[in-house]
Amino acid sequence: MNTKKYLEEANVDSILIYNGSNEDLNFYYFTRLLEGGIFEGSFAVLTDDGIKVITSILEEESAKKGKHEVLLYRTASEREELLRKALKGSNTIGVNYNALSVRDFEKLKKILGERDYKDISEKLGEWRMIKDEEEINLIREAGKIASEVADIMPNFMKEGIREYELAARLGYEMFKRGAEDFAFTTIMAFGEHSAEPHYLSGDRKLKKGDFVLMDFGARYHHYNSDTTRTFVFGRASEKQKNMYYTVLEAQKLGISMIREGVNGKDVDIEVKKFIDSTEFKGRMIHSTGHGLGLAVHDHVGLSSQMDLILKEGMVVTVEPGVYIPGFGGVRIEDDVLVKKDGAEVLTFAKKDELIEV
């Protein structure tokens, strides 16, 4: 990793990432310590010489899996001394205000003394928007896990099963396939609950004629997928079919627009314009998508409220939806890699036909 590039763009002598009381995902971005290790209380220090990882003796084996110099401490005083030595001669230090608590920041200043501490949180966000090949492959694997699970979930749908029971099965199937964690708390919504975009999972029992909306993701080596599929348990009504195929066509439109140079805002505008041209006008109540990576909402994505010029290497979700309170909702979501002249869909669960279970 070319640390000089980051230091020059941030206009700092060094960058200090502290994975403290608030987890800082940028620690993993820079160190690529993605397999094993908690690294709570650890530092990543970027200087002209490269990256140093300052971490506890508890993390020794995990830390040595990486490619960077590892400095180990056993006591708080050892940690402070290592930190001072690593940043010796650095007058301007870039830090991430977004992840530092006030208390942690005050402790750092007490250890390092009065220097010019510069907030580089916006720069960190910009750097993480463009994924390299390693990051894309990890997201692709997380997407593969989620896609395979989505396709088998109808096998476990039976009358009377509760939302939280089906959500538990979904988690089990993800872990069987190599997920290290959930990307976020699974949304498992039956019937009228599917009209709540951020519903989680309750004790509602599945019955004939219900929508089953599953919004979930796998975390694989710290990188995430995020996918949604909607089914009908039993025979779908005409209204349910119309909702589903309207959302499917809206998603296809959104994906077809994605390529380098397009403004994400325009994708959202066109998707909503299409839905508003149908009987479901005004029933899409969220943006079309968001950035994806180390965080599930990694950065701004496809929203009419924000300008974002898409660039090759970005990964965004495309997830239009239609929601009718008291009746139900449909959302279809995939993870999409932006390329120079188009898009690659990283999640592949079945969706071209409404699945009636």
State the pLDDT at residue 154.
98
How far does the chain reach from its first CA to its final CA, in angstroms? 49
Q: Rounded to an integer, what distance in angstroms lies between the CA atom of residue 19 and that of residue 220?
A: 19
Band the pLDDT of 21: cuts 50, 70, 90. Answer: confident
Alpha helix (H) residue ranges in the chain: 3-10, 26-31, 60-63, 76-86, 102-112, 121-129, 133-152, 163-176, 238-257, 264-276
Would you list the domain boundaries of the chain? 3-128, 133-345
For the CA atoms of 141, 142, 146, 149, the dihedral, rounded to the nearest 10 degrees, stands at 60
Q: Rounded to an integer, what distance in angstroms lies between the CA atom of residue 171 and that of residue 332?
A: 19
Of residues 212, 227, 156, the one with CA closest to residue 329: 212
Residue linked to tokens 């993605």: 34
What single string gives the DSSP state of each residue in 99-127? T--HHHHHHHHHHH-S-EEEE-HHHHHHH
The answer to whether the predicted template modeling score (pTM) of the entire model surpasses 0.85 is yes
Q: In the predicted model, what is the mean pLDDT of residues 86-113?
A: 96
Q: In the predicted model, what is the mean pLDDT of residues 339-347?
A: 97
In three-state secondary structure terms, 339 is strand
CB 62 within 8 A of CB 36: yes
Domains 3-128 and 133-345 share a fold: no
Band the pLDDT of 55: cuts 50, 70, 90. Answer: very high
pLDDT tens digits along 130-177 = 999 999 999 999 999 999 999 999 999 999 999 999 999 999 999 999
Of residues 102, 98, 121, the one with CA closest to residue 12: 121
Q: Rounded to an integer, what distance in angstroms lies between the CA atom of residue 49 and that of residue 179?
A: 35
CA 150, 152, 157: angle at the middle one, nearest 5?
95
Angle of helix 264-276 relative to helix 238-257, nearest 10 degrees?
A: 150
- Neighbouring CB atoms inside 10 A of 25's CB total 17
Band the pLDDT of 26: cuts 50, 70, 90. Answer: very high
State the pLDDT at residue 167.
98
State the pLDDT at residue 123.
98
State the pLDDT at residue 215.
98
What single string gives the DSSP state of each residue in 254-269? HHHH-STT-BHHHHHH
Q: CATH assignment of 133-345?
A: 3.90.230.10
pLDDT tens digits along 262-282 = 999 999 999 999 999 999 999
Q: For residue 296, how many C-alpha atoms fall within 13 Å in the half-sphere facing its CB? A: 15
Q: Residue 60: is its pLDDT beyond 90?
A: yes
pLDDT tens digits along 192-247 = 999 999 999 999 999 999 999 999 999 999 999 999 999 999 999 999 999 999 99
Q: Residue 1: is its pLDDT beyond 90?
A: no
Domain 3-128 has CATH 3.40.50.1980: no
State the pLDDT at residue 122.
97
